[in-house]
Structure formats: structure tokens, C-alpha cells
């Protein structure tokens, strides 16, 4: 988050699934309570749910739907949270666009691994 707000972090569990017929990928992530790598410079968010749906739209295009619900924690007034997160989803998608341009993500072949719970 921007100054003067402390950075936030979250420890989460993420489940991926893929529709083999369409190639659509689904990610559902939820924050979990944990003291893993606690950092006094950051505020651990008490609540997070995030969902991504990635639909192939051709060899070089993917439609992304991103939904997030989070409590940033700390002593932030609602108006400040709203102000700081107003463009968060737009920034998230823009960050994904930049990331997939990196060499390590170009020409990646999909690998599907099935696990049993």
C-alpha cells in the first residue's frame, strides 16, 4: 500500500482447477490464520477471498475475471481503504499483463497434475 499505510500480507490456501474441455482455469484462494513469516513492518490481513477465472481466447489472449474481498486489517478508516483500493483490480490485471510478457512465461506449455484430497 502507498505511504503512509503499512504494507499488508496474507498467508493463504489456493485451489486450482481446469476445465479440460475448454481450457478454462479457476483459482479460488482464501487467507488462513498463520504466524508464518510474520514481519513487524507489515500488517497481516485478517480476511481474504480471491477468485480468478482464466478463459483462453486464442493462442495469445486470455480473458481474466478477478474477484477479491479482503479486510486490510489495522486501524484504517473505511474512507481511506476505499481510496487506496479504488483501482486495485485494474492494477492487478495490469500487473498480470506485464508479468506474462517476461521471457520465462513465453512459450510455456500447460502441465496438468491431478491430485486426490
Spatial separation of the C-alpha atoms in residues 108 and 111, rounded to whole Å: 9
pLDDT single digits (tens) 59-68 = 778 899 999 9
- Quick one: fold of 7-105? Alpha-D-Glucose-1,6-Bisphosphate; Chain A, domain 4 (3.30.530)
Q: Which pTM does this prediction carry?
A: 0.75
Please, which residues have CB within 8 angstroms of residue 76's CB and are 6 or more apart in sequence? Answer: 5
pLDDT single digits (tens) 79-99 = 888 887 888 888 888 998 898
Residue 105: all three cell numbers together: 512465461
Spatial separation of the C-alpha atoms in residues 30 and 53, rounded to whole Å: 15
Amino acid at each position: 500500500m502507498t505511504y503512509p499505510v503499512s504494507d499488508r500480507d496474507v498467508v493463504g490456501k489456493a485451489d486450482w482447477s481446469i476445465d479440460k474441455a475448454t481450457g478454462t482455469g479457476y483459482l479460488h484462494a482464501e487467507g488462513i490464520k498463520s504466524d508464518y513469516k510474520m514481519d513487524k513492518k507489515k500488517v497481516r490481513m485478517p480476511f481474504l477471498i480471491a477468485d480468478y477465472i482464466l478463459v483462453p481466447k486464442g493462442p495469445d489472449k486470455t480473458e481474466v475475471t478477478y474477484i477479491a474481498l479482503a479486510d486490510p486489517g489495522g486501524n484504517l478508516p473505511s474512507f481511506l481503504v476505499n481510496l487506496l483500493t479504488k483501482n486495485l483490480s485494474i492494477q492487478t490485471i495490469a500487473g498480470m499483463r506485464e508479468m506474462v510478457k517476461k521471457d520465462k512465461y513465453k512459450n510455456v506449455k500447460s502441465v496438468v497434475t491431478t491430485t486426490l484430497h
